[in-house]
Structure formats: structure tokens, C-alpha cells
């Protein structure tokens, strides 16, 4: 299986973890294509998802010289980022260790990027961040482009999925699916509810754990594809008389609503500690 990683940055911990995950499964990436560091689109997206404080922390981490020690921005990814005597800090470090090529671009959909991807002849592309992908790129890999969506599809499409799931009392989880031209509308390979919501101390902690949970589950999906035991299922067709509370696309969440979602998470923790109330 020839696997390629798409990344929002050379310093994306998610992309590094995905590459290590694949390598440890015996599927060393055929290549990785990353957007240039501090790409404007990436920062704008993270600003909407995480807020000014977290984006400032993210940007500082990208600008400070990297060393092979210290802690990860996402502690939940450390099991894949650790190596003897330090920690992987960039895709270039992972690539040097496992011996695969890395390229940097300003647009993953550009003709140069498409040409580079075709040179690597991927069976599968794993999307670990970057641009909104166009049809020409989606058509490059033999099997398709995998995405780990931090919500259950089709109930929660779009952005800020963990927070919208909390507000709408939809189970927290991840969906691994093939990407298509729509927004989180592609065929589903695996849906998994997240079992440790009550252990999460904040929305950032919840999102961080979900990212690591997704990286773990991607491994089982890729193994299933290799064995021929994993098959994609189309998402349900639009209902001619849809329920307005189902199958909606969500967008960036206002800070006031983020605070309400955080309260729901705290309430979930309290219920888990206190146990169910018997009437």
C-alpha cells in the first residue's frame, strides 16, 4: 500500500503522528506534502476553531527553533512522537528517520503539487490538514483520500464538531471517511464513539484526545483496506422531508456558544464522578 500524507505544516504534530503510525504498521509513507509554515489559511481556520490565545500559542511553537526534547503541543500524540532521547518535531525529522521524501507547497491543489503527488503514485492519501481539496487532487490516489472528522457523520458536518456535538447532545466521536467534493459528505469507512469524554478537562483537551483517537483508528482502517476487509458505505441520501435537527452542516462557533459547550463538558464530568441519579 503506497500511502501519502497531506499536512497543514512541516511542524504539524498530527501529520507527524500519522506518518509514524503508518511506518510502525509497515506502511512507510511514499511521501508527505506540507503547506508552508504559518500558512495564512491554516491560521485563519485555527483562529475560528481554537480562539486567539491558542492560535498565538500555536504560532509561537512554529517560530521557536525546534529541538528533540520537551513536550508536544498535543500531549495525547506523544506516544507516536517520542523517540529515544527526544521527540519528533517536524515531518522532515520523521522523514529522515523512516527515509521518505517531503515536499513543501503554497497550495496542495496547484499543478506542481498534483504533479508531485502523481510521481509518488499513491494508493491512498491521508489528509492531516491543509487546503480544501479540489477534484483533480481527489482523483490522484487509486483508493481515495482519507479524512478523520472529529464528529459522527452525517449528524455533525463542518467545523467545531466536538463543540457542536456537545451543544446538540450528539455522542462525541470520530468518523474516518473518503473525501469528495462536498463538506464531510464522502463515503464512511468507520465511525467510533469516543469512550473517554468524561476524562477531558477542557474543550482543548477533548479535541486533542480526539485527534489522537483518530490517529489510532486510522491504523485499523488502513489495515482493513490492505486485507480487503474494510469497505466504504455511502452516507444517507438527503431526505425529501428532512428533520431540521439532523444532517446539518455546522460552521465556526461563536465564543459564547463555546462557553456553553464547555459547560456541557463540565456537566458530563460531574455526572461521571457522581454516578447516575436514581429517582
Where residue 272 falls among pLDDT bands split at 50, 70, 90?
Answer: confident
Check whether 278 has a pLDDT greater than 50. no
Where residue 67 falls among pLDDT bands split at 50, 70, 90?
Answer: very low
Which three cell numbers mark 107?
Answer: 497550495
Return d(Cα 90, Cα 233) in angstroms, integer. 34
Helix (H, G, I), strand (E, B) or coil at 218: helix
Return d(Cα 165, Cα 162) in angstroms, integer. 5
Predicted confidence at residue 275, as pLDDT, reads 60
Return d(Cα 53, Cα 47) in angstroms, integer. 9
* Residue-range domain boundaries for the chain: 3-235+246-274
Q: What is the pLDDT of residues 99-143, one digit of tens each?
A: 999 999 999 999 999 999 999 999 999 999 999 999 999 999 999
Q: What is the mean pLDDT of residues 232-260?
A: 76
Intra-chain end-to-end CA distance of the chain, in Å? 55
The 10 Å Cβ neighbour count of residue 241 is 4
Where residue 10 falls among pLDDT bands split at 50, 70, 90?
Answer: very high
Predicted confidence at residue 47, as pLDDT, reads 56
In sequence order, the 6+-apart residues with CB closer than 8 A to the CB of 118 are 140
Q: Which range scores top for mean pLDDT: 37-41, 214-218, 266-270? A: 214-218
Return d(Cα 79, Cα 67) in angstroms, integer. 17
Check whether 246 has a pLDDT greater than 90. no
Question: How large a percentage of the chain has pLDDT more than 90?
Answer: 74
Predicted confidence at residue 243, as pLDDT, reads 59
Check whether 176 has a pLDDT greater than 60. yes
CA proximity to 230, closest of 144, 118, 159, 140: 144
The answer to whether 94 touches 19, Cβ cutoff 8 Å, is yes
Segment among 25-34, 67-76, 165-174 with least mean pLDDT: 67-76
Where residue 279 falls among pLDDT bands split at 50, 70, 90?
Answer: very low
Predicted confidence at residue 271, as pLDDT, reads 78
Which three cell numbers mark 142?
Answer: 487509486
For CA atoms 55, 92, 174, 42, give the dihedral sign: positive
Question: What is the average pLDDT score of the chain?
Answer: 87
- Determine the CATH number of domain 3-235+246-274: 3.40.50.170
Where residue 277 falls among pLDDT bands split at 50, 70, 90?
Answer: very low
User: DSSP labels for 15-79?
Assistant: HHHHHHHHHHTT---SEEEEEPTT-HHHHHHHHHHH-HHHHHHHHHHHHSPP-S-S--SSGGGHH
Predicted confidence at residue 57, as pLDDT, reads 57
Amino acid at each position: 500500500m503506497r500511502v501519502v500524507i497531506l499536512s497543514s505544516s512541516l511542524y504539524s504534530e498530527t501529520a507527524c503522528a500519522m506518518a509514524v503510525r503508518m511506518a510502525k504498521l509497515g506502511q512507510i509513507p511514499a511521501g508527505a506534502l506540507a503547506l508552508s509554515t504559518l500558512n495564512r489559511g491554516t491560521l485563519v481556520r485555527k483562529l475560528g476553531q481554537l480562539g486567539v490565545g491558542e492560535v498565538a500559542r500555536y504560532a509561537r511553537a512554529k517560530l521557536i527553533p525546534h529541538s528533540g526534547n520537551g513536550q508536544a503541543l498535543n500531549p495525547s500524540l506523544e506516544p507516536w512522537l517520542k523517540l529515544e532521547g527526544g521527540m519528533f518535531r517536524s515531518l522532515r525529522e520523521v522523514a529522515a528517520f523512516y527515509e521518505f521524501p517531503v515536499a513543501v507547497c503554497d497550495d496542495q491543489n496547484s499543478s506542481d503539487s498534483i504533479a508531485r503527488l502523481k510521481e509518488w503514485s499513491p494508493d491512498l492519501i491521508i489528509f492531516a490538514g491543509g487546503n480544501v481539496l479540489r477534484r483533480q487532487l481527489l482523483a490522484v490516489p487509486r483508493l481515495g483520500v482519507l479524512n478523520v472528522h472529529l464528529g459522527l457523520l452525517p449528524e455533525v458536518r463542518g467545523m467545531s464538531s466536538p463543540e457542536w456535538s456537545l451543544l446538540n447532545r450528539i455522542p462525541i466521536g470520530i468518523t474516518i471517511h473518503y473525501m469528495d467534493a462536498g463538506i464531510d459528505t464522502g463515503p464512511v469507512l468507520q465511525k467510533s464513539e469516543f469512550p473517554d469524554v468524561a476524562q477531558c478537562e477542557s474543550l482543548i483537551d477533548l479535541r486533542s484526545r480526539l485527534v489522537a483517537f483518530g490517529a489510532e483508528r486510522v491504523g485499523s482502517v488502513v489495515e482493513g483496506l490492505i486485507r480487503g476487509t474494510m469497505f466504504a458505505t455511502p452516507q444517507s441520501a438527503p431526505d425529501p422531508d428532512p428533520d431540521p435537527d439532523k444532517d446539518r452542516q455546522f460552521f465556526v462557533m461563536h465564543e459564547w456558544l463555546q462557553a456553553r459547550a464547555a459547560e456541557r463538558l463540565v456537566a458530563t464530568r460531574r455526572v461521571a464522578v457522581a454516578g447516575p441519579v436514581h429517582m
